[in-house]
């Protein structure tokens, strides 16, 4: 007997509720930064009416986000999961909220003072959860539970909470406890561990060739810590682990999601895929088939399929054919309802929910936390101040749409106020390279005088490597031999700092900060003698450059 129209509609809505689609935090279609992945408003309204149960947001200001989450809630007939990748505080993605140092900074504090680091991680989570809830989000896609024990990792890097499993697990669990105490859900990612890879799943399918015993010793402990801390969700990794499943990547693997995570680790919460538009999945499976395979493997929620309607239709067809039991989907729907029940009623949907302190920026206590994290994670060498004005040479991945280097950014403004002229290395303008491996900078193109070198280097999705190809050790040696290195500032990767620091002559003022935001710039440059203010510089908060969830 064919199902009735009512039964068909009920099944369609059940399936749709298990999808999470992406939209911009900006309200207007013309403001979308990544229209390839961010749905227009008409499509959003139609999909939410169809029953799509979650939205991931990126971009815009804190004030825009609060209006946007209310708008999305009004378009939906059922409570939504509203989430964002705010691994470094809400201000990492939404201007005007708190942008905190990357999590790996706390691992270094933990090595010296574990109790302090755990307290800071809990406060870090509380700040993130509180601001997320105030702006209408009910799900924080953090913490990263990957162990970054591979310095060449291009996609995890400073996003990890540690370089060893004990540190990563303890700090990630503290973050979970702090955030979920504020009434939001958290998400441990990327299961079963993306830390020891040298390739980027945004671009290709990484291979993790380790044995099950090695996974148990290194990759899995942080996830066990997070599960013990009652993390609400776990996000899958797009990588292949032949020791567990030689055919399917973890996101689509029943042995990984059902056998390992659900049955062996005893996780009872939501399992969500990483974005299915990422090339590790999209380049090998169609959008519709990937969604079906993920649910077959044991995932509960399908994040960012490239064709939401096609994914819904394919899952419905899989139910009709007997490939996917309806009971399997109902179990996922029940987990979703239980998760939403952990959030304070009405926060994400009520127009009466106040914006709170964020109407005037982060609260004083959160501003103090952001400053404390920057100051405690700074590493210094040599003595400032730097010498008389010369060239402020700044290395960026790309100066276009760079959130931490606006025209007023301290890395530009503080040296400019002291008479330094700026030169950007960003892959867009004229090349500064000579072609000589021993003296790689074409100094005649940069002009006369001392040179302040500021490097913004960190693992970033889509770049395919953890650092740039630029020969910075040779540059340091060249500038010191010429007597022109006035100072060095490294923002982001500790591995770049560790490689360059031993090359510096004792008198060269230098510093590293894991953060790249304005607050980190002002604090670091203050130690190099560039007019640090008692307030600690400008407040954190800017949109992020990463294209989609990772």
Tell me the per-residue pLDDT of 75-101, one tens digit each, with 9 for 90 and over. 998 999 999 999 999 999 999 999 999
- In this predicted structure, what is the pLDDT of residue 540? 36
- pTM for the full predicted model: 0.91
State the pLDDT at residue 546: 29
Catalytic (active-site) positions: 202, 274
Q: What confidence tier does 534 reach under pLDDT thresholds 50, 70, 90? A: very low
Q: What radius of gyration, in Å, describes the C-alpha atoms of the chain?
A: 24
Percentage of the chain lying above the pLDDT 70 cut: 88
Residue 95 Cα to chain centre, angstroms:
15
**Other CB atoms within 10 Å distance of the CB of residue 401:** 8
Q: What order do you get walking across the sheet with 270-272 strand by strand?
A: 187-191, 233-236, 270-272
Tally Cβ neighbours within 10 Å of residue 76: 22
Q: Is the pLDDT of residue 455 over 50?
A: yes
Q: Residues 251-272, buried b or exposed e (16+ Cβ, 10 A)?
A: bbbebbbbbbbbeebebebbbb
Q: What is the pLDDT of residues 108-132, one digit of tens each?
A: 999 999 999 999 999 999 999 999 9
pLDDT of residue 447 exceeding 70: yes
Q: How confident is the model at residue 550 (pLDDT cuts 50, 70, 90)?
A: very low
Q: Work out the pLDDT band at 459, boundaries 50, 70, 90.
A: low
Per residue in 387-445, pLDDT tens? 789 999 999 876 666 888 988 999 999 999 999 999 998 766 677 888 888 899 999 88
Q: What count of Cα atoms within 13 Å lies in the side-chain half-sphere of residue 229? A: 30
**Domains parsed from the chain with CATH numbers:** 21-81 (no CATH), 85-285 (3.20.20.300), 378-527 (3.40.50.10870)
Asked if 421 and 392 touch (Cβ cutoff 8 Å), the reply is yes
* Cis peptide bond N-terminal to 385, omega within 30: yes
Is 119 exposed, middle or buried (CB count within 10 Å of its CB: 0-12, 13-18, 19+)? middle
Dump pLDDT digits (tens) for 141-173.
Answer: 999 999 998 887 778 889 999 999 999 999 999
- How far is the CA of 347 from the CAs of 130, 134, 353, 354, 487, in angstroms? 11, 8, 6, 9, 48
Q: Residue range 37-50: average pLDDT? A: 95
Taking residue 112's Cβ as centre, other Cβ atoms within 10 Å add up to 9
For the chain, the first-to-last Cα distance in angstroms comes to 44
Q: Classify 63 as helix, strand or coil.
A: helix
208 or 68, which is more confident:
68
């Amino acid at each position: 007997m064919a199902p009735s129209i009512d039964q068909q509609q009920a099944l369609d809505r059940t399936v749709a509720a298990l999808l999470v689609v992406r939209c911009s935090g900006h309200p207007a279609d013309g403001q979308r930064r990544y229209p390839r992945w961010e749905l227009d408003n008409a499509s959003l309204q139609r999909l939410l009416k169809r029953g799509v149960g979650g939205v991931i947001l990126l971009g815009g200001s804190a004030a825009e986000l609060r209006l946007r989450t209310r708008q999305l809630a009004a378009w939906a007939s059922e409570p939504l999961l509203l989430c964002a990748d705010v691994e470094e505080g809400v201000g990492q993605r939404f201007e005007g909220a708190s942008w905190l140092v990357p999590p790996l900074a706390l691992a270094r504090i933990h090595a010296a003072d574990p109790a302090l680091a755990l307290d800071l991680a809990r406060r870090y989570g509380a700040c993130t959860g509180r601001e997320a809830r105030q702006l209408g989000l009910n799900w924080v896609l953090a913490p990263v539970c990957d162990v970054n024990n591979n310095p060449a990792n291009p996609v995890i890097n400073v996003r990890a909470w540690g370089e060893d499993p004990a540190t990563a697990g303890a700090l990630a669990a503290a973050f979970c406890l702090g955030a979920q105490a504020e009434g939001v859900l958290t998400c441990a990612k990327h299961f079963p561990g993306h830390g020891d890879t040298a390739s980027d799943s945004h671009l290709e399918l990484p291979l993790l060739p380790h044995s099950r015993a090695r996974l148990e010793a290194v990759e899995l402990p942080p996830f066990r810590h997070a599960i013990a801390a009652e993390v609400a969700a776990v996000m899958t990794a797009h990588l292949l682990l032949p020791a567990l499943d030689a055919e399917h990547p973890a996101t689509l693997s029943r042995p990984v999601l059902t056998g390992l995570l659900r049955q062996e680790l005893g996780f009872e919460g939501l399992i969500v895929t990483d974005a299915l538009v990422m090339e590790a999945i999209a380049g090998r499976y169609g959008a519709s088939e990937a969604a079906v395979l993920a649910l077959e493997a044991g995932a509960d929620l399908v994040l960012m399929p490239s064709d939401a309607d096609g994914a819904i239709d394919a899952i419905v067809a899989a139910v009709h054919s007997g490939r996917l039991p309806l009971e399997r989907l109902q179990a996922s729907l029940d987990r979703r309802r239980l998760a939403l029940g952990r959030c304070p009623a009405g926060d994400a949907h009520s127009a009466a929910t106040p914006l709170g302190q964020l109407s005037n920026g982060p609260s004083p206590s959160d501003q103090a936390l952001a400053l404390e994290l920057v100051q405690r994670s700074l590493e210094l060498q040599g003595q400032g101040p730097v010498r008389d004005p010369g060239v402020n040479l700044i290395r960026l991945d790309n100066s276009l749409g760079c959130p931490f280097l606006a025209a007023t950014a301290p890395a530009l403004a503080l040296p400019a106020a002291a008479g330094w002229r700026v030169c950007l290395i960003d892959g867009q303008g004229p090349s500064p390279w000579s072609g000589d491996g021993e003296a790689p900078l074409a100094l005649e193109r940069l002009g006369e005088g001392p040179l302040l070198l500021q490097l913004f280097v960190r693992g970033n999705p889509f770049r395919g490597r953890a650092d740039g190809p630029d020969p910075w050790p040779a540059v340091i040696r060249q500038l010191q031999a010429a007597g022109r290195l006035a100072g060095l500032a490294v923002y982001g990767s500790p591995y770049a700092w560790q490689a360059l620091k031993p090359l510096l002559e004792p008198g060269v003022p230098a510093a590293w900060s894991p953060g790249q935001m304005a607050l980190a710039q002002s604090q670091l440059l203050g130690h190099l003698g560039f007019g640090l203010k008692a307030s600690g510089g400008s407040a954190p908060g800017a949109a992020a450059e990463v294209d989609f969830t990772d």
